[in-house]
Amino acid sequence: MKVLVTGTAGFIGNHLALRLLERGDEVVGIDNLNDYYDVQIKKDRLARATAHAGFTDIRANLEDKAAIDKVFKEHKPDRVVNLAAQAGVRYSLINPQAYIDSNITGFINILEACRHFGCEHLVYASSSSVYGANTAMPFSVHNNVDHPVSLYAASKKSNELMAHTYSHLFGLPTTGLRFFTVYGPWGRPDMALFIFTRKILAGEPIDVFNYGHHRRDFTYIDDIVEGVIRTLDHVAPANSDWNSDAPDPATSKAPYRIYNIGSNNPVELLRYIEVLEDCLGKKAEKNLLPLQLGDVPDTYADVDALIEDVNYKPATPVETGIENFVRWYRDYYKV
Ligand SMILES: NC(=O)c1ccc[n+]([C@@H]2O[C@H](COP(=O)([O-])OP(=O)(O)OC[C@H]3O[C@@H](n4cnc5c(N)ncnc54)[C@H](O)[C@@H]3O)[C@@H](O)[C@H]2O)c1
């Protein structure tokens, strides 16, 4: 298969590209290498992909319609995975426009290109943050998610709505994946695990929001990649039982699916930090603070739909995942 992956210099996109290349797919990768976080780690990730003959590396912005159309026209991908986006909840309070540009304008360009140049299946990143003000746990794809608490979440929910219209109007099969706090080697420097590791090793105090009491369904990168590949291979089908009088938000009479990908095993932040301390062999100095604006207190994924449709449930415990992360971090930064 020829798969177009956007965000190939990013954390998840890079791991995904490598796995697709290893199984023999051709990968056309798009990334703009923006400086939202350290560009060097993006370049180093990308170098792992460019080492493969089946990888085509393209520098482009999703919001540049002409550039995106050109990539589709030239490379004619069979399937597309859209992971490039402005990520991060907190940054969306500081620079909301970046979310409109990459996540809304960028996404419509991907949808339009899939429509006009032909694409068997579009898989795209949504986020657990779409659950917003919902508190019924575990979070189910069958519940409505109409109360986002950050513009980041609103942009991801918008992607799901936009995808549905293209599945309905043009028969484009689309699958939206709600990722739950992904972590692991080659992770994102703006995320808690990375920041905690750097500060603990430097002997600096760490900011622990919500006094460390929120629970996150931390999901290991390999589990995420396995889930993305399984859904990519399972072209979103129409649900012939879909009832328009009682509409299920996760499926449709159009070829449209939404799945949670989370570990289905929420861990309290204080426990996550404890595991990190054990792996580093060093105690953290904790600066306990209230919950940050835009953050949700707890996340916990119901992954029944993922199990049912693609027979998969993420399984890596945080003890193993954090140990792998710390080993990579020490090696990469030579600390
Ligand atoms: N990591 C997580 O915990 C998590 C959780 C939920 C959802 N997600 C979503 O998963 C996707 C991948 O996340 P990630 O953690 O790998 O993020 P990342 O920031 O590491 O990767 C995104 C990549 O996309 C590129 N990019 C951003 N905007 C672009 C644009 N307009 N044009 C071209 N390239 C652009 C960036 O340079 C970056 O390399 C994102 O859509 C993110 O919102 C991630």
pLDDT band for position 252 (cuts 50, 70, 90): very high
Mean pLDDT of 241-268: 97
User: Does 327 fall in a domain?
Assistant: no
pLDDT for position 164: 98
Using pLDDT thresholds of 50, 70 and 90, give the confidence band for residue 297: confident
Q: How far is the CA of 36 from the centre of ligand 1 (A)?
A: 10
**What's the pLDDT score for residue 293?**
84
DSSP state, 236?
Answer: P
* pTM for the predicted model, two decimal places: 0.98
Q: What's residue 296's pLDDT?
A: 84
Residue 242 located in a structural domain: yes
56-91 pLDDT, tens digit per residue, is 999 999 999 999 999 999 999 999 999 999 999 999
Q: What is the pLDDT of residues 100-129, one digit of tens each?
A: 999 999 999 999 999 999 999 999 999 999
Let me know if 332 is a catalytic residue.
no
Range of the domain at 308: 2-180+221-262+301-315
Ligand 1 atom closest to residue 88's alpha carbon, by position in its atom list: 43
Distance CA 319, CA 332 (A): 20
Length of the chain measured in residues = 335
C-beta 14 within 6 A of ligand 1? no
Please check whether residue 42 lies inside any domain of the structure. Answer: yes
pLDDT at 294: 82
Residue with token string 């170098």: 47
What CATH number did the domain enclosing 65 receive? 3.40.50.720
Which residue out of 6, 8, 11 has the highest number of ligand 1 atoms within 8 Å of its CB and is therefore the one to mutate?
11
State percent of the chain over pLDDT 70.
100
Total domains present in the chain: 1
Q: Which of 37, 152, 256, 259 is catalytic?
A: 152
- Sheet order of strands, 256-261 included: 55-59, 26-31, 2-6, 79-82, 121-127, 174-179, 256-261
pLDDT at site 6: 98
- Would 96 be classed as within a structural domain? yes
pLDDT on residue 224: 98
Q: Could you tell me the distance, in angstroms and rounded to a whole number, from the CA of residue 277 to the centre of ligand 1?
A: 27
Please count the other Cβ atoms lying within 10 Å of the Cβ belonging to residue 2.
16
Is there a domain that residue 232 lies in?
yes
- In sequence order, which residues have a C-beta less than 8 Å from that of residue 156 and are 6 or more positions away? 85, 103, 125, 126, 127, 129, 130, 178
Query: pLDDT digit string (tens) for 162-212?
Result: 999 999 999 999 999 999 999 999 999 999 999 999 999 999 999 999 999
Band (pLDDT 50/70/90 cuts) for residue 227 is very high
Q: Does residue 111 form part of some domain?
A: yes
Is ligand 1 within 6 A of the CB of residue 106? Answer: yes
In a domain, 185, yes or no: no
Q: Would residue 277 count as lying in a domain?
A: no
**Average pLDDT estimate for 13-23:** 98
Residues of the chain with pLDDT > 90: what percent? 98
Long-range contacts of 129-138 (CB under 8 A, 24+ apart): 129/89, 129/153, 129/156, 129/296, 130/156, 130/157, 130/160, 130/178, 131/296, 131/299, 132/296, 133/296, 135/298, 137/298, 137/300, 138/264, 138/300, 138/301, 138/302
